[in-house]
Chain A
């Protein structure tokens, strides 16, 4: 659409290969774009699985004393829902976006180690299948098999004496394997960013999404590894009779909690930060303004990365730590809110004075801003330790983290799909279906998760398969369950949009959004080699410089 002066090479026509050859091409590929799409498709598939698990949970909790599923089945459902959403949806979908976008944004031909990339994907696949194979294990007390230890698997509930049978072992081993995939991917992407940028693209000129991705990969290396280690220790307990978390032999249940949350807390930033990266690209383009305060955004991201490894025990305020320890973790948690808030203000500052186009990516980004504001505020509330003593392990926390991961992360993922789908496929997604998707999801998400704050404050703990009728919880649970219907409808619009637009969407061209980063300087979809020629990178917005030669960014940076 816009004239960038880049010589474009359209993919050459050739005989259409057979279905078998096309599948084989995907199965053996080492191309980052294909692997990126594969990660995303894998994750969307498991989003459906996790969504079914959530729907069953909410059906069971719609009214008091319900009997949709048994107690044991419910416990398996919430364990697998959490595990699936974090490890088989969140991590892979973000790995997919990173794989697809980073080489394009830095002007590289592929990632640093394409074969390691493929290894990482297939290992993740295998781990995911193993994890879900646990459903086939024989039941404990009738009903489906599957691990029922909760997604953070507190000891000693996970010890062989309290979780006999194989289901928990599938969970442990599946996650160890998925962890290897994450670590391999992180090494790859981090090395790519440091070693393969186009000439002129200094670290200070990288797109914010790429900067954030670099910080996230380092966090993965530092955070996922402790989980892998702790899972190995647990496996030694379960399989070989070790006593790491065996309280009967002097082992410590709290030690597991420390190890898990040293992973678990940075992990939620690993999940959320790429979402920040997406909106840091989308908000400027749809406000027609450069991001406000790029250096501060980078500094805030790095600060979040460092501080986030010091807050983990805010998940453990009811464990009985000393007042000094409780106060320390309260303060560090309060501190991490500051760079996060700064980022929000910078996005606001970008929109301010702009010319905002309310296309679908921007709608999701704006909803994200409000919903993430709520999430951040409830997070700070939870840092206030005495308040936390009432709210921890209740539906208030469930509401908080769903505001972060659904109202925050999932909304940014939707925004990212609408924004980059044209680049990957050459077709625009339907704006009409996009708006239906958006409104149904906004209504459904808020209807489900706002009431859960109140359920928590009224005494409803987490992980309960039912509740007493006279506890005042009924209206909140019923509304929460009704919201699911709207989200399912919105999700259906989304899937239909993806499928329909693949053949019938409007042609996108190189640069449908009039954007400024390098991925828009090549065709849609890009050729396998990504770039025939690269524009000179003299600033953070190479395409802005090309489109505005009279007023390039490097005058101001």
Chain B
């Protein structure tokens, strides 16, 4: 059901960062973990030691040990150490907050707008004229020619959160509010993430991927995404499917650029087959899953807002044949 057939680095550890914000966060995290481990070993060790060393021995019950009411010097000593540690941590925290949140946007940065919707991601590149869903393509940045991608985050319904652990910390998408974040992958690859703010029934299957490509490949992808769909597919079954698509309710929710379908409630399907999954990660984007989705999306993603259209099987096959042409 939820297996991944696309080659992707599937473990998303925050300690395997590939992008600048995640790298800064991971290195700060390592410092914090080291300090924490030290504190745990020292204090925990003292607790364990005291239990062993000061355990009541048999025969000692008759008398009480010396009563020690307190000591100002000891209190001062064991207050000053935590204060120093907190100061160190907070200085480091302030510095990295500034580096990540206040990083100035370079002129050549790619810009994308992510709009969170129950339970998928609408992705637009306003300056490039690209509209897609669930898969964010970004160019790889290198230290000579930095090419980060700046994201604007919005929501049309409830609160969501954009989280791809290897790429950046999470930032929320909140209705009636605009947030910003940036990513800067330093190596090519596909990186997995998912929504990280509970947003209703299928919060779990609001998955996300970031595909980082060398700049030339990214430019080719952009070019391809800007093309409208081919007017009429050669295959008669697919052509029939196109008629079904445009003639029934599909067109009222979905857009296929270059056709009369301009619906905005569901994902843009112009280049559906260029994406690895359907249902924002509910299933891999292959014929039989696509067919199951079109027949009854609820089977793959229970509670999804796309209703089952009660279409006859023959029309479903035609529709699927058409959808498969939308590369």
Residues of A within 8 A of B (CB): 64-65, 70-72, 75, 141, 148, 150, 154-157, 162, 247-248, 250-254, 287-290, 292-296, 318-320, 322-323, 326-327, 330-331, 334-335, 337-338, 341-342, 344-346, 348-349, 351-358, 366, 369-370, 373-374, 377-378, 380-381, 383-394, 457-459, 461-466, 468-472, 548, 551, 553, 556-557
Contacts and interface: CB of A to CB of B under 8 A. Distances in A.
A326 B48 CA distance: 37
A387 B32 contact: yes
Contact of A385 (B33, B68, B97, B201): B97
Contacts of B249: none
B67 interface: yes
16 contacts: A70-B302, A288-B65, A320-B180, A337-B86, A349-B74, A351-B50, A355-B61, A373-B47, A381-B36, A390-B165, A393-B197, A458-B13, A458-B14, A458-B165, A461-B163, A463-B204
A466 B61 CA distance: 55
Query: Is the interface on chain B under 10, 10 to 19, 20 to 34, or 35 or more residues?
Result: 35 or more
B201 A330 contact: no
B158 A459 contact: no
Nearest to B168: A389
A340 to B, nearest CB: 9
Given A348-B47, A353-B66, A384-B32, A338 B79 contact: yes
A473 to B, nearest CB: 9
A156 B171 contact: no
Nearest to B175: A247
Contact of A320 (B22, B74, B172): B172
B199 to A, nearest CB: 7
A319 B172 CA distance: 5
B302 A141 contact: yes
A352 B65 CA distance: 10
Contacts of A457: 13-15
B157 to A, nearest CB: 7
B97 A468 contact: no
B219 interface: no
A385 B93 contact: yes
A342 B25 contact: no
Contact of B159 (A154, A461, A556): A154
Contact of A459 (B12, B28, B68, B70): B12
A254 B159 CA distance: 9
B176 A355 contact: no
B128 interface: no
B159 A386 contact: no
Given A331-B90, A349-B74, A290 B67 contact: yes
Interface string B179-199: 110000000000011111111
Nearest to A161: B157
A254 B179 CA distance: 12
Interface in B198-224: 198-204
A296 B74 CA distance: 11
Given A355-B65, A389-B25, A341 B196 contact: no
Contacts of A553: 67
B282 to A, nearest CB: 11
A341 B36 CA distance: 13
B158 A156 contact: yes
Contact of A355 (B12, B33, B54): B54
Interface stretch (B38-46, B139-147, B233-241): B38-46
A330 B69 CA distance: 34
A338 B200 contact: no
Given A157-B159, A290-B67, A468 B25 contact: no
Nearest to A339: B79
Given A289-B65, A355-B64, A369-B47, A247 B176 contact: yes
Interface of B: 1-4, 10-15, 22, 24-26, 28-29, 32-33, 36, 39-40, 43-44, 46-48, 50-51, 54-57, 60-61, 64-71, 74-75, 78-79, 82-83, 86, 89-90, 92-94, 96-98, 100-102, 118, 153, 157-159, 161, 163, 165, 168-172, 174-177, 179-180, 192-204, 302-303
A468 B2 contact: yes
B92 A384 contact: yes
B40 to A, nearest CB: 6
B162 to A, nearest CB: 9
Contacts of B174: 247, 253-254, 319-320
A290 B204 CA distance: 52
B70 A471 contact: no
A302 to B, nearest CB: 15
Contact of A464 (B10, B200, B204): B204
A80 to B, nearest CB: 14
With most chain B CB atoms within 10 A of its CB, the pick from A148, A366, A464 is: A464
Given A318-B171, A471-B11, A141 B161 contact: no
B14 A318 contact: no
Nearest to A334: B86
Nearest to B79: A342
Given A64-B2, A356-B55, A470-B10, A459 B193 contact: yes
B65 A296 contact: no
B94 A390 contact: no
B165 A370 contact: no
